[in-house]
């Protein structure tokens, strides 16, 4: 079922109204026409000969030994995220994963945006800054917006997506 979003907050959730904004220069939140930027977007992503239903599944699977990775191919992305946080048989200890997780995310996103429709949509974002805005407290991959409207976070998911976009654009020249 390519091109749809499974378990993630409904784009009509009132918290998106408070958090997200799209301007001529930035995409602040993955909703509406930019929902496809979410790692929960349903698009096949193949990594190490295993095809996953979303980028989230592929990313979470990368934390584990080969035998366990395949099980992530049949999970909903929200379940994959939870299992990625709590299952045993990890390939990396915490410190080791922290050293490679951004590289792994970029590899997964590179695979995701090989999809011709998503590739085109990503390139069409032009030079807009892409920010994974959220209300659930993720300050590593995104920018958390607290109840007072304060924004904090590294936005590494947004930065990885922009790097992939730059590489795609460079390859078009």
pLDDT digits (tens, 9 = 90+) for 45-65: 999 999 999 999 999 999 998
pLDDT digits (tens, 9 = 90+) for 69-88: 999 999 999 999 999 988 88
Mean pLDDT value of segment 152-159? 98
Catalogue all structural domains in the chain, each as residue range(s) with its CATH number: 14-172 (1.10.357.40)
**The whole model's pTM is what?**
0.89
The pLDDT of residue 7 is above 50:
no
Question: What pLDDT score does 90 carry?
Answer: 83
Structure tokens at 117: 């429709």
Full 3-state SS string of the chain = CCCCECCCCCCCCHHHHHHCEECCCEEECCCHHHHHHCCCEEEEEEECCEEEEEHHHHHHHCCECHHHHHHHHHCCHHHHHHHHHHCCCECCCHHHHHHHHHHHHHHHHHHHCCCHHHHHHHHCCCCCEEECEECCCCCCCCEEECCCCCEECCCHHHHHHHHHHHHHHHHHC
Mean pLDDT value of segment 87-116? 91
Question: Shortest CA distance to 69 belongs to which of 48, 92, 54, 53?
Answer: 48
């Amino acid at each position: 079922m390519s091109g749809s979003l499974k378990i993630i907050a409904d784009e009509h959730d009132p918290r998106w109204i408070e958090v997200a904004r799209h301007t001529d220069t930035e995409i602040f939140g993955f909703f509406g026409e930019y929902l496809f930027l979410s790692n929960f977007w349903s698009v096949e992503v193949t990594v190490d000969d295993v095809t996953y239903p979303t980028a989230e599944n592929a990313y979470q699977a990368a934390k584990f030994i080969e035998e366990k990775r395949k099980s992530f191919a049949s999970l909903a992305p929200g379940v994959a995220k939870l299992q990625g946080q709590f299952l045993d048989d990890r390939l990396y200890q915490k410190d080791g994963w922290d050293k490679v997780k951004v590289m792994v995310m970029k590899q997964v996103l590179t695979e995701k945006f090989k999809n011709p429709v998503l590739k085109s949509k990503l390139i069409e974002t032009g030079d807009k800054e892409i920010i994974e805005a959220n209300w659930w407290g993720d300050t590593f991959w995104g920018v958390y917006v607290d109840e007072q409207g304060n924004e904090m976070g590294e936005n590494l998911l947004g930065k990885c997506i922009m790097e992939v976009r730059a590489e795609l654009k460079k390859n078009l020249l």
